């Protein structure tokens, strides 16, 4: 299903539209099913790349620094981002631990990396094949990347623990929150689906 | 074409229907079995998803209880009800009121991820609270069934082809986008 150049296909209903320029903050909706197809950028064209790169930098301390520390009767326990993954693994719930590892850590970082490469101003890919493959990967990763849910889960846990133990938020958690915010900002300022090979641009599925 | 994680079914939305049924079945053990056990000095407690949310409510944490209830019970059920509606409406040819169905589809697609809240919560608490006999939290079998149910609902939404809502609807030519 290939459309003429400069056309966008609604990923929900399949109607083809001619791509037009948008003013900052303006939304383009499908004329048939009203799904939002694109948003006019409020920031410069390189902002999503900067967000993705900054998110990647924050991912390093988010993984290495203390996430949350808990104390009970003088005994202190420091938890890192992936401590829960190890505990579930030891508990015999290996598939579940891999799910948590992927959705909360590997996939968001992989998505930031894919976005940073796709958006890098210096990246050249004359044939477009690698760009298409990377777009497909980013489309898949976007669905399974849920660091914002992990942030909410930690906040709920802090309330839930209440009087059971004394908890202290560590720098790793703040870095993780920053990484999550930057990932969401990068995705907000840039539509993966519009790249060749993305959902709204399947015209590029055809071999070059 | 909509890009899929799963191969396209031979006809219609058969894969989406099968995954929805599997998710509905998985929600039964997910809600009946304990998801978390808490051992503190002199007290052992097993919590299901519902009793965990109720415990928050009883501890005067109503807003948190509502978040947990919405993510863990309301969203998975709403997703299954919505998917069933979409599947029934598109069973024979073009659907009536396609705009309403499209909005439901977009909503289901957006909210599904928040159901993973309880899975992350269980993993986080299991890793953090290990103080031997003073306080220990462990994930239990229910959380595995719950995670399976959430994944199955996400895959079911992905397997559902929203174009079936609009098939045979008029106006399939390129038109300029309207802001």
Most confident of A70-84, A133-147, B142-156: B142-156
pLDDT at A8: 82
User: Other CB atoms closer than 10 Å to residue B77's CB: what's the count?
Assistant: 14
| Minimal CA separation from B153 to chain A, in Å | 13
Cα separation values, A103 from A51, A140, B151, Å: 20, 12, 11
Q: Mutating which of A96, A169, A193, A196 best tests the B interface, going by the most B Cβ atoms within 10 A?
A: A96
Cβ contact A165–B171 (<8 Å) = no
pLDDT of residue B156: 93
Tell me the nearest-neighbour CA distance from B68 into chain A, angstroms. Answer: 8
In this prediction, what percent of chain B has a pLDDT beyond 90?
A: 46
In this prediction the pTM is 0.84
pLDDT at residue A24, as a whole number: 80
Residues in chain B closer than 8 A to A33 (CB atoms): 98-99, 102, 162, 165-166
What is the Cα–Cα distance from B149 to B84, expressed in whole angstroms? Answer: 15
pLDDT at residue B85 is higher than 70: yes
List Cβ neighbours of A160 (8 Å cut-off, separation of 6 or more).
Answer: B56, B61, B64, B121, B125
**Taking residues B74-79, what's their average pLDDT?**
94
Return the pLDDT at A28: 85
Please tell me which of the candidates A75, A83, A146 has its beta carbon nearest to residue B113.
A146
What are the domain boundaries of chain B? 14-166
> Is the pLDDT confidence value at B138 over 60?
yes
pLDDT in tens, B100-127: 999 999 999 888 889 999 999 999 888 8
For chain A positions 24-83, those within 8 Å of chain B (CB to CB) are 26-35, 37-38, 68, 70, 72-73, 75, 77, 79, 83
Q: Which residue of chain A has the CA closest to B175?
A: A17
Work out the mean pLDDT of chain A and round it to a whole number. 84
Position B135 scores a pLDDT of: 81
Question: What was the pLDDT predicted at A6?
Answer: 65
pLDDT at A178: 97
**ipTM of this model?**
0.83
Q: B179 falls in which pLDDT band (50, 70, 90)?
A: very low
Q: Read off the pLDDT band of A107 (50, 70, 90).
A: very high
**What is the predicted pLDDT for the residue at B10?**
47
Min distance B16 CA to chain A CA atoms (Å):
16
End-to-end CA distance of chain B, in Å? Answer: 24
Q: Does A149 touch chain B (CB under 8 A)?
A: yes
Residues in A closer than 8 angstroms to B59, CB to CB, are 162
Give A98 to chain B, closest Cα distance, Å: 11
Q: Which residue has the higher pLDDT, A28 or B41?
A: A28
A6 contact B CB<8A: no
pLDDT tens-place string over residues A116-157: 998 887 777 777 788 888 888 998 899 899 999 999 999 998
CA distance B90 to B99: 13
- Asked if the Cβ–Cβ distance from A14 to B117 is below 8 Å, we say no
Domains of chain A, first to last: 1-40 (no CATH), 44-191 (1.20.140)
Whether residue B126 and residue A84 make contact (CB cut-off 8 A), yes or no, is yes
- Could you say which of A14, A100, A160 has the minimum Cβ distance to residue B120? A100
Evaluate if residue B174 carries a pLDDT over 80. no
Using 50, 70 and 90 to split pLDDT, how confident is the model at A4? low
Higher pLDDT, A69 or A180: A180
A27-66: burial string, b at 16+ Cβ within 10 Å, e else: ebbbbbbbbebbbebeeeeebbbbbbbbbbebbeebbebb
Backbone angles phi, psi at A168, to 5 degrees: -135, 130
């Amino acid at each position: 299903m290939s459309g003429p150049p400069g056309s966008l296909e609604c990923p929900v209903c399949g109607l083809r539209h001619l791509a037009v320029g948008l003013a900052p903050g303006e939304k383009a909706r499908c004329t048939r099913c009203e799904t939002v197809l694109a948003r006019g950028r409020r920031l410069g064209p390189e902002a999503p790349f900067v967000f993705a790169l900054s998110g990647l930098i924050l991912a390093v301390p988010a993984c290495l620094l203390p996430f949350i520390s808990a104390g009970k009767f003088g005994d202190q326990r420091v938890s890192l981002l992936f401590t829960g993954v190890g505990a579930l693994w030891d508990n015999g719930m290996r598939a579940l631990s891999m799910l948590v590892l992927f959705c909360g850590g590997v996939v968001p970082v992989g998505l930031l990396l894919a976005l940073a490469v796709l958006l890098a101003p210096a990246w050249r890919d004359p044939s477009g094949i690698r760009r298409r493959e990377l777009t497909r990967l980013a489309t898949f990763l976007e669905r399974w990347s849920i660091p914002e849910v992990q942030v909410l889960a930690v906040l709920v846990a802090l309330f839930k623990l209440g009087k059971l133990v004394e908890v202290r938020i560590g720098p790793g958690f703040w870095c993780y929150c920053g990484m999550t915010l930057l990932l969401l900002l990068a995705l907000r300022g840039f539509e993966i689906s519009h790249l060749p090979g993305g959902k709204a641009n399947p015209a590029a599925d055809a071999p070059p | 074409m909509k890009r899929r994680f799963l191969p396209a079914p031979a006809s219609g939305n058969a894969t989406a229907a099968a995954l929805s049924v599997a998710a509905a079945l998985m929600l039964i053990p997910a809600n009946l079995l304990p998801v978390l056990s808490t051992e503190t000095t002199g007290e052992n407690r097993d919590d299901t998803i519902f009793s965990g949310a109720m415990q928050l409510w009883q501890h005067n944490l109503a807003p948190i209880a509502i978040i947990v209830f919405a993510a863990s019970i309301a969203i998975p059920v709403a997703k299954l009800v919505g998917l069933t509606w979409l599947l029934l409406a598109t069973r024979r040819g073009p659907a009536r009121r396609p705009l309403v169905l499209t909005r439901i589809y977009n909503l289901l697609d957006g909210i599904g991820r928040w159901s993973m809240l309880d899975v992350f919560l269980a993993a986080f608490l299991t890793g953090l609270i290990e103080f031997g006999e003073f306080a220990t939290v462990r994930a239990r079998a229910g959380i595995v069934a719950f995670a399976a149910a959430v994944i199955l609902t996400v895959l079911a939404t992905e397997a559902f082809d929203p174009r079936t809502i609009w098939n045979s609807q008029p106006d399939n030519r390129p038109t300029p986008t309207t802001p």
